[in-house]
Structures are given as structure tokens and as C-alpha cells.
Chain A
């Protein structure tokens, strides 16, 4: 059913929903600021996410400076350090990766790739961005309140998160919780749009099993987010009440400075459950869009259909479903019943099966492919390796007996950076190099791109492989400094200094990337139509960059899956999704010859 015969082409069902009238902006403000166009909203989301992401990048340098050269920087106090790691982690995970993948790529690609003119409810979609921006501003505001931002660690575990010993316990923690709640409200508005658009607003011929995997990844991740964020929302509400009104949802009786606090009877473990019921799916909210996008990058740039498309779809859906029953693997050291540990270890290891299927299928897609080592392809390949690396350490951590000694060491830091830090970021870079020509009409600069790739890719390993080793030695995470600790050998200090230097170099490469973005947007080589010779609909629009309403007069009709490479009988090695089969009348396609079909090969 992925592609069809000429006879079937005549049978594509007629449009079921009449074209909705789009909102046509009349002023500059409604066109570019309070815009209801998903593409503009996507760019607003992306710029905000990258902007706040740069803050998190700078924080990572400060963290590393302290770890690499303790006692050398007066301006980093222990409290500062805790605030840095907390804000760094939270920004990276939520405000950068989640927002960029779903709000950024989701908004840009979903309508274009499924053949819709826009999201189903553009007004709500616009509100989504503005609430997200408000959430970011509230977060930033926590630097300017007395006591500064919270230093509770990105997991915000009570009771310490709201006790006076923790930096930012007066106002910082509250702003953090409010910001998270706002983020969730804003995200929900966007997320409902993404899901409904994918389910109910595809173009004629675009069956679910013809959707590009990018859409499958973003769609499933959004569903996860809509079901996982509620737990974080509830946790945020209850913790806000604990810290502002003095309720005891999460607070047991506590003695502080020889005095009983007013709290008593609450359950800190409850918070951990709520947090990780959100937190583990969150890993896949970040990973699934990356899985989807990387599948498409690999396919386009190796001129070969994705291997095992159906299996890839089911793996995405299966991983998504399983991700809701593994959360307590983050709580092995919380004193839980061993049978629970056993259960969660088992489910955790089961997730490895669909994940491994995906890695095999990516590799098999390359097999006999006509690989073009473009920048997006390099990043996609780097992703496979990095994700595999992070996934394997995950298998170790998923086992209770192995995790107990490794928990709260640098090994955990290395693991999650590989799997949910570096790997998705590599995909984001690849995706930006891939879709930049579509969005701006210009190619990104190659030389800067190559420099960026090699420094980032090699640098990530230079940074994080040694951190695994530090974890084995027992170096704990979230420590301001180790001082003279008997079990920590001298060499740890020099290794830490080495990692810090590497991190600064990698950080510099990101600035080159940022410069490249701005430079290429105005001075880059003008891109030709469909520069990567891709089959998916976003490249087949009448204009590039796509205009308001995406597809001109008539919506495209889809005749095949997104991976028709090297099909016999065609002049090109690729067949766009909206090109009718040979011998079928193009009449069904609405405007005759689909755009992009007549593109000459280079």
C-alpha cells in the first residue's frame, strides 16, 4: 500500500473537508509578530529556544570551569554552582530541546509534510508561542530576584528544594515552578494542534503509512508530552503550595537548626514518582523526533528508502507506549521494594528491543546506499554512533545491581548527556543544515559547517568518554569540589582540567555555528529548488521558501510513500510523493504536473 498502480491513482478519495479559509494578515505586526502562520511561529519558537539555549551553554562553561579548576574562580561560589547546574539542566531539557523539536520543527514541518495549509487552529497555535515566551521570561526573571534562581538540581527533589539551605529557596524555586506550569499550558495549546493536524488534516492520498518518519516521531512525541506533562504540572502545583502556603504534600517532619519545621506527614517519594512519570517519557519526547528526523536525513542523503518502514513506525509507537512504564528506574536508590525494582528493570530492558530495531534499520538503510557525505548526513551518522553509545550505558544503568553503585556518579551524567544531550543535539544540527535552504532559500556555509561538525562530534567524545571513567572511579555528580577525598585519585584533577578545555573548545564551535546561521541567512549561496532531491512534500511547494498557505492554489495529492528512491522507469533517482504514477492521468493531482517533478538533475 505504500505506492500505488495507475489504476488506483484514479481512486484517491475526494477531499473530505473543504479548504478552510486562512487568516490573512494585513499588517506587519500580524504577519511577523502576532502571526498565526505555523512557519512564522516555528521560527519564533526556534529563535527563543536557541537564545535561552545559549544561556545554558554559557552555564555549562561556568560549571566546567569550576570542576576543571576548583579554587581558581572567586566568582563561582558553591551556591552559584548549584544554581548553574540546575538552570543548565532544566533549560537544556525543557526550554531548548522540547521547545525546539516540537514547537520549532513540529510547527514548521507538520503542515508542510502532511500537505496541510496550516495547523488546524492557528490562533491557539499563536497563543502557544506567546505563553512559551512568557515561561522563558519568568525563568530568566529568577536571576533577578533576591536569592537568585533555584539550586535544587533539575530534578527539584523535595524536601531540599524548598528548604532554606538550598539556594533560591525563597523566590527562585517558585518562579521555576510557575515557569514550568506556564510552559506546560503553552505546550498543550501547541501540542493539541500538532496531534489534531496529523490525525485529521492530511491531504488527499496521505495515509498514515505514507507519512515521513519525521512526522511519526514528532506526532508520537507530542502524544507522550500531552500525557506526561500533566504529572509535572501536578507536582509543580503541589510543590508551590508546599513552599508558599506551608502545606505538606511532599514534606515529612524535619528538624532544621534544632527546630521542628511546621511540616509533617508528606511524602517526598510521591514527588519522585510524579517527576519521573513525566521525566522518563520526557527523554523520549526529545528522542522520538530525533529518531524520525534522522531516519529521513539518512534516507535522503543515501538515496535509498528507509529500511523496514513499517517496523520503524511500530518501533516509534512501541517505544512511546513503553516509556510510560519504566519511570521508577530513576528511583532504584529510593528504597523501593525489590520486586518493583525487578519489574522496572525488566520493562527498561524491553525498551531496548524496539530501540535496537531502529539502530539496525538505520544501518541497513545505508547498506548499498549511494551515500552523499553532506553536512546533514555527517550529523545523522554521528547520531547513530552516539545514540548507540548512550543506549548501551543505559542498559547498565537499567539493572538495579549495576545502577546502585553508579547512581549519582558522573557515569550517570555521561550517560544522559550522550543519549539525550549530544545525540538529539546532533540531529538538530543535521536538521538545521538540511532544512535551512527551505526556510531561508540559501545554503549554509560548508567550510564553517565542516569545522562545526568535526569539532562537535569529536569534542563530544573527548568530553564525555572521560566522564564515564570518572563515574567508575566514584566521582559523585553535583559536587562543588572534591577537596581531599581518599578514594579519588590525583589524576581526576588533571582529567577534569582536560575535559574543561575540551568543553570550551566545543563551546566555541557552537558560536561558529551561530555565526554561520546569521551569515548564511543573508550571504549564503542561493539554494536551487529541492537541493537535496528529496521526495517529501515540503520541498514540492510552488515557492521556496513556502508562502502563506504553503501550497498555492490547490493542495498536493499524494501517490506514494516518502521513500521512493531509485524506482525504475523514472528519469530521476527520486520520485516526489505527489508525482502521479507513470501512465496515470495527472488530473487527479489538481494542477497537472506536480512541482519538483520536472526538476533537472544537477
Chain B
């Protein structure tokens, strides 16, 4: 969430799920909310029923897009252009919040000059969205007293993901849509505890609560608490780690509860890296594709067998409670880590996760007031700096975490891989409702498998005709990096020139095709857009 950190000083969902129904306008961009965050999707629908206007920007006609007041059906990777053009319209029409800009922000003049070039007409040529629709969307968003933006993977999985987020926060600050209930900029995090993993410092450059490893005072504080020196240079991100492993710099990996052998972009590289490691430990509840590469596999228990906390996408710390005993000889992750540390001569003495949380609270300003005795009810939204603090439903009330909000002009970076004669279509990847991430859990469930048993590729009817493909044909999808096959779903729901493949399925892992260009700041792999071609494989799905 590097983009948000730059502009507002905090990288989390600014507002609460509860407030969605208080908004007058909801702008959903790059998020197939209904399938990825079903509860939030249903709140959006509820808001629409209450009269809120919904704007959806997505290359697919998603469930929400079908119910939207305006669907901006843009080409993958052109979000910045769309947003810049909306800003252009708002400034041109004088719909910005002068008071808010004056009091709470800096850099407006620079932004104003910069977006002059982004007329809706120019944006139409790049995004494929009609200039008139861009104008309408901009006016509706700016005209609302309370407008909220929800965004997800579609925005954060491009090589320009940081820019996309900065562009959105420009839009938010321009209209003063922040620091009040029912407004804000809300990144929807994918897995259940992404927010918690970030808050806890499972990141290469920061410790808990985003305290930087480069800050000597921070290192000093953790040295005192942990009794060990913290390395002073930021470490490597996931994709960088796999590169380093391939180059032989990283020799050993310890992977818990992740399945990068399906989820990472440019998969063949990841497999090569995993296979080449001197020593690999994987700790999981199933023998995943990744675990098969391991030298030692440690059986963890599931969420039902342990105590702990998860932090929601809207920053609510909630209690996870043990319901059943660990299966077989499996153990909770925390206990395995404690035992491993002990064997390496480092003493961790926790008897229960609540004691770990007490230590977290003592080292982390934003979790300072969190303790298990306070989590019996609905949980507490962080930041919660002290024991008497009620928690924070929305951020940036009177000032931004960084002081003044900063407008930063954003240039358009076209997708790293352009389509050409050989690879004429843009591939975009994503989730479906019935599965979760790489499917390690959901694919074990009969009902979900029946609803959505395997991979598929969505193709627009015009493209299908062009390539001689009909519904149900097995289709080969090829990029410069690999090839997969999947049955075709010919549907109007996908924009012409674009194909969609879900990434849950190991047997047709979309990430064999994707490209591993990283966003230079956020280091997000560009899973969302790459060039492919398709051809019919001469069989029908279900043959053989």
C-alpha cells in the first residue's frame, strides 16, 4: 500500500464496512467485490437499494457492473488515465472542495497543471471508455456529499499499482471525500488476515506498525525487547526472493501457509527457484504444490484448532477461538515457531497467544490498547493507541497521518507488455466466488467444486468468432512465458480484446502466463495484464 502511505501517510482502508450503506456514491474500481469480498459486495447492493449511485470501472461486466449506474468498461491497465480524466473534469467544472484543499492538502497547483492534458476525449482513445461517460462519472462522484472508493487487486496488480493508488487519492482529496463517515478510499485486502500480516511487520522493510528497519531508534527499541540486533537494510520482497533463490543467493526458505507454486506470477521461475534451494521448509495444513518441493514439511493446524486474532480489511482486530483439538500431530503455527526458535537457542516463553499480543501491544503504537480481555465483543479497530481508546472507525479525521495530504501528479505507464500480431489479446486474471486464492482449502469442499469445478477462460463473442472458438471448446492460451489450456466461456461479460482466467487452479495456473515485471515502489507483480493469443484445441471440454 505504498501509494496511500505516500499521499496520506497510512496504507489501510480509511473507512469501515459499516459505513458503506451511509455513502451516496460508491465508486468500485478494479474489484470484483461480489466474488472477492461477498459481504462488502452485499453492502454495496444494499446501499444502491437505499438510493446510492454506483460507479464501476472494470474490463469485465461483473455482478456489480451489471447493477451499476455507470459501468466504465476500461481496457486493463489504463486506470490512471481514467482517473486523471475524472480529475480533469472536476477541476474544469469547478467541482472540487476548495476549503478542504486549502486547509488539509498541498501540491494542488501542480496537479491542476498536470491533468490539463488529460481531457476525457484523450482518455477515451486510451481507455476505450466514452468521454461522455467519464464526464458523467466525475460529476456524480464530485457532486456527492459522501462518496467512497473501493478498490482491489485490479488496481494493485499492475506495474503501475502505486500510481493507480496515488491517482485515486488525488481524486479523494480533491473532493474532500475523506475523514468523515461514509467517505474515503478503501483498499479491499484479499486474504483474511492481510491487514494483520502487514500490521505485524511480515514485510521486508518494516517491523510492527510500519516502524522502519532503517530507523536506528526503532532498531534500538526492538534490540531491547528482542535481545537481538535487527538488520538495518530492508530485505527482499516475495518476487525478489525467488529471483535471489534462482541466483543462488538465497539458499534456504521457510514458507508458512502460502502456496507460491500456484499464486506467484511467472510460475516456471518460481518452481525452478524452489527446486534449486539447498533447504526448504513448508508449514501448512495440506501438502500443497509448494510443499511438494520441501525437504521438511511441518503440519500446522487450521483456524478451527487455535486461538489468535485476525485483523479485517477495515482494521478490526477480532478473536479467533479454538473450537476443536489439533488434528493428528498438527500444531498451531505459533507453537511450531516457538519450538523451532528454542532449538536454535532463542528462547520464546509464551504459553498462549494472548501473551504474544501483550508483547505486540508493548512494541506497536497502533496496537497499544489491544489485549485479549478487550476483544470479547465485536473487536477493536486499530489504531488503538492505549487501553482506554475505543478504536478508530475512520482515519484522517482532522489531519492526515502524514500531516497535510499530498497531491502527486501521476503519469500514465502503459502495460509492460503490449499486444501485437502474435499475441493480440490482453489476459487478465482474478478470483471467482466459489474458491479462495490457490484453492488449497476450497477445492477440498465438494459443494464449491461442483459449483465451479475447474478452470475456464472468458472470451468475448466477437473475439471467439474471430478465433473460431465456440462455447465449451478447449482453448490453448499462450503468452511469451508459457501455455495453459482451459474450456472457453464465450460471454459478453468480458470486454472485447480481453480474456479472463481465474488463478485458483493448479492444473491451468494462469500464472504460467503472467509477467513478473514489478511495480517499482510497491513491488506488486503485474498479474493483471499481459499479452496472449488463443487457439481452439480441437476438443470439447469433457472429451477424453
- Real binding pair: no
